[in-house]
Chains A and B, each alone.
Chain A
Amino acid sequence: MQQNLRPNKGIRASILMHVAWRNLISKKLRTILTVVGVIIGIGAIYFLLSFGLGLQKLVTDEIIGNKSLKLVEVVSPNSEIISLDQEMVGRVSSLPNVDQVSVEYSYPGLLSLNGGEIDVVTYGVDEAYADFVALNLINGRLLNENDTQQVILNTGALESIGIEKPREAVGQTVALRVPLKSDDPEQKDILADFRIVGVIDSGNGSEAFIPSGVFSAAGVDSYKTLRILADEPENVASLRQGIESIGLETQSPADTLDQVGQIFDFFNVIMISFGSIGMLVAVIGMFNTITVSLLERTREIGLMVALGARRADMRKLFIIETTMISVIGAAIGILIAMLSGFLLNLLMNQLAGQRGVESSFSIFINPPWLIGSMMLFMVVIGLLVAALPSRRAERINPIDALRHE
C-alpha cells in the first residue's frame, strides 16, 4: 500500500468542466439569469469604454490630423535674431535622435484660374515633406525632386475656384502670385504659372503646395518652419530640449495629445463608474448563484469526497463553474456591445452622410486590447466571486454533508 499510495493526481480538469457544465445546464433559468446579469454588467462597461475610446480617437485624429507623433515643428521666436536658414538646418540635423529634416515656407498668395482668383496659403515644401505629413492624395501624384513649376492643391482650394471633380483639375495650369513683402532687394515676388499635378484631401481652407526651390530661387533664404522627425516617439522630448537650447521654439502633436488624453482618461473613469453599477449587480447575482448552488449541492460534495475526491478538487469545481459563467457572460456581453457599437456607427455615419459629411468615422472602437482586458477582468471578477464559496466547498465535512437535508 505504501508504494501504491503515490500522490493522487485527482480528477481531470476536463471532467470537472463537464460536471460543472452539467450542473449549470441542469439549473437553466438560474444560470441564464446569472449570465444575463454578467452580459449586462460587462456589456455596459465595454459599450461605454468603446464609446469613450472611440470618441477620444476621433478627437485625437481631428486634432493631430495627419501629423506623426514623432514630429517636432520648429519655428524661430524672432526671425531677425535667429534665422531658420540653411546653416540652422545643418545644426539641427546634427542633433541626436534626428531622423529626417524637412523645410517649409508658407506665405499667403493668390491663385487664378479661368478668370477666377482665390486666396491660398502657399507652402514651399521639399520632397521629404510627404514623409512628415500624410497628404492624403486623392488624385494625381505628389511633388518630386524634378518638379519646378508644378503645384498640388487641396480640395478646399478646388471648391473655392469652382472645380467639383479632383480629376478635372489635374493637368490644368493655374497662375500663382505670392507677394513676399520684403525689404530685401534681392527678393522678388513669385509670379508664375504652375501645372496642377495632384489633389489632396487634407488641411483647412485653400492650400497650394509648390516646390521649395521656387522660394529659394526668389531669394527667400529663411524658412518659416522646420519639420523634424525624431527616430522614436519617446525621444521627442529630449530632441525638443536640444532644439530649444539653440534658442528655437518647438511644438509637438504630443502636447495636445497629452491634454486630450487627460480629459478622456477622466471621461472614461466616469464611463466605467456608470458601467460598474451594472457590474456590481452582476457580481451579486453570481455570488448568490454560486452560494445557493453550494448549499444545494452540499450532499453531492460530501458524496464525491466520500468516493475519493480531493478537497482541492471540490474547490476547483466551484471555481470552474464561476469562471464558466464569467467567460460565457463576458463573451456574449462584449459581442452584443460590439454589435451595438457597429450599428450605432452605421447609423451615425448615415446621419452624417445626409448632412453632407463624406468621410466615414467610428465613435465606437474595438481595439483587441480592450476585448482581451475586459475578458481578463471578468475572469478575475469570477475568481474573486468564487473565492469564498469554493473555500467553503473545500472545507465541507463529508459526514455532515451526507446528513445535510
Chain B
Amino acid sequence: MSKDETEKAALSLSNTFQSFSVGDETVDILKDISFSIKPHTFNIIYGQSGSGKSTLLNILSGLQKPTKGTVHYEGRDIYKLSSNDLAYFRAHRIGIVYQQNYWVKSLNVIENVSMPLYLQGYTKTQAESEAMKALASINMDSYAKKYPTLLSGGEQQRVAMARAIVNNPSIIIADEPTGNLDSTNGDMIMDLLVRYQTVLNRTVILVTHNMEYLTLADHLLNIKNGVLIDMQGKSITETTEGLIKGIRQRVDHFAVNKKRRKHAAKS
C-alpha cells in the first residue's frame, strides 16, 4: 500500500497478522491482511463464524495490537501511540456498537450515553447535554433516566447507537449490531447506520452475517479462515446476488434432503 494511499484512507491495514498460542501450537487468526477504508464510506465485513471478523474489528478499533503489521489512522500507526494516546484515539475518533449490549449497570441511560464524553474530560452537565441531543436524534430522549438493562433489546441497541455517535467520531464500528434483533429492530439500526454515513458523513465499518444488508455497502470485505478477500472494484450487486443465490441453493438443498428423509421414513 502506497504512503499516499495510507494517508488518504480513514483506516488502513498493511500486512497484518494475528496469531495466538495454544499450548505449543500457534494459531493464525488473521493472515497477511491489507486493505484501506476510504473516509465517509459504508464498509461491510462478512464471513463465517470464527473467520476472524471480530478480531479484525478489535484491531481496527485500537483494542488489540496485531502480532505483525500496521494499522494507520489518517497516516499514523495507531499502535505506535502510547497507551494514553491510544485511549484518546478511541475516545475521540471511534464509536463502537456491539452485538451484545454492554452497560455500566449502576448508571442510567443518559449517563451511559455520556460515558465517551466523560472519558474525554467533559463535565457531567456538558456531557449529559450532548447525550440528550444524541438520544433525541433517535427518539430515545424519554428513556434518559431509565436504566438500560430494563429496556428491550431493540431499545438498548438504539441507546448503544446514541452512545456510539455522542462523541462525534469519524469512524463508527458496528460488530453485528442486528445479530440479536428481529428484522424490524434490525432494520431500524441499519437505517441509523446509513443515516450516520450519508447525513453525518461518518465512515461506517459493519460486521454482519445478514446478507440482505450487503447491498448497503460501498465496500465489501470477505474473510475466510483469516484471509481477507477485498471485493473492492467488484460489483456489489453481483457479489451480493451471488451470495444470496448461494444461500437459496443451500436452503433448497436442505429442503430436498428433508423430503428424502420423510420419504425414507414412510417406506
Contact = CB atoms under 8 A, between A and B. Distances in A.
B106 A307 contact: no
Given A2-B76, A19-B104, A399 B116 contact: no
Interface string A1-40: 1101111111110110011001101100000000000000
A19 B124 CA distance: 11
Interface stretch (A135-143, A169-177, A226-234, A308-316): A308-316
A304 interface: yes
Chain A's interface size range is 35 or more
Contacts of B111: 22
Interface in B119-163: 119-124, 127, 163
A7 B92 contact: no
Given A12-B118, A26-B106, A308-B120, A5 B90 contact: no
A263 interface: no
A398 interface: yes
Contacts of B19: none
Contacts of B76: 1-2, 5
A4 B150 CA distance: 38
Contacts of A19: 104, 106-107
A399 B88 contact: no
Interface in B171-208: none
A308 B58 CA distance: 13
A404 to B, nearest CB: 10
A303 B124 contact: no
A387 B121 CA distance: 25
B92 A307 contact: no
A133 interface: no
Chain B CB count within 10 A is highest, among A22, A300, A306, for A306
A2 B88 CA distance: 12
Contacts of B105: 26, 300
B87 A15 contact: no
B88 A308 contact: yes
Interface in B34-77: 58, 61, 63-64, 73-76
A1 B73 CA distance: 8
Interface string A388-403: 0000000000110010
Interface string B72-113: 011110000101110111111110101000111111000100
Nearest to B88: A8
* Chain B contact patch, size range: 35 or more
B84 A7 contact: yes
Nearest to B96: A306
Interface in A276-303: 299-300, 302-303
B89 A304 contact: no
A15 B75 CA distance: 34
B223 interface: no
Contact of A5 (B81, B96, B118, B121): B81
Best-surrounded residue of B61, B106, B120 (most CB of chain A within 10 A): B106
B165 interface: no
A22 B102 contact: no
B119 A308 contact: yes
Given A307-B116, A402-B98, A5 B58 contact: no
B115 interface: yes
A22 B122 CA distance: 18
A311 B106 contact: no
Given A10-B119, A10-B121, A310 B87 contact: yes
Most chain A beta carbons < 10 A, residue from B75, B103, B121: B121
B91 A308 contact: yes
Nearest to B85: A5
B162 to A, nearest CB: 13
A399 B87 contact: no
B63 A14 contact: no
B160 to A, nearest CB: 10
B102 A5 contact: no
B124 A15 contact: yes
A67 to B, nearest CB: 59
Nearest to B163: A307
A300 B92 CA distance: 19
A303 B91 contact: no
Contacts of B58: 399
A303 B81 contact: no
B104 A300 contact: yes
B219 to A, nearest CB: 22
Nearest to A7: B84
A305 interface: yes
A12 B102 contact: no
Contact of A12 (B75, B88, B121): B121
A54 B93 CA distance: 62
Nearest to B120: A308
Given A22-B107, A300-B102, A306 B63 contact: yes
19 contacts: A1-B76, A1-B93, A5-B88, A6-B88, A8-B91, A12-B118, A15-B118, A19-B107, A23-B106, A25-B106, A303-B102, A304-B119, A305-B87, A306-B63, A307-B116, A307-B163, A308-B119, A311-B83, A399-B64
Interface of A: 1-2, 4-12, 14-15, 18-19, 22-23, 25-26, 299-300, 302-313, 398-399, 402
Given A8-B85, A310-B87, A399-B63, 6 more contacts: A10-B121, A15-B123, A19-B104, A26-B105, A309-B87, A312-B84
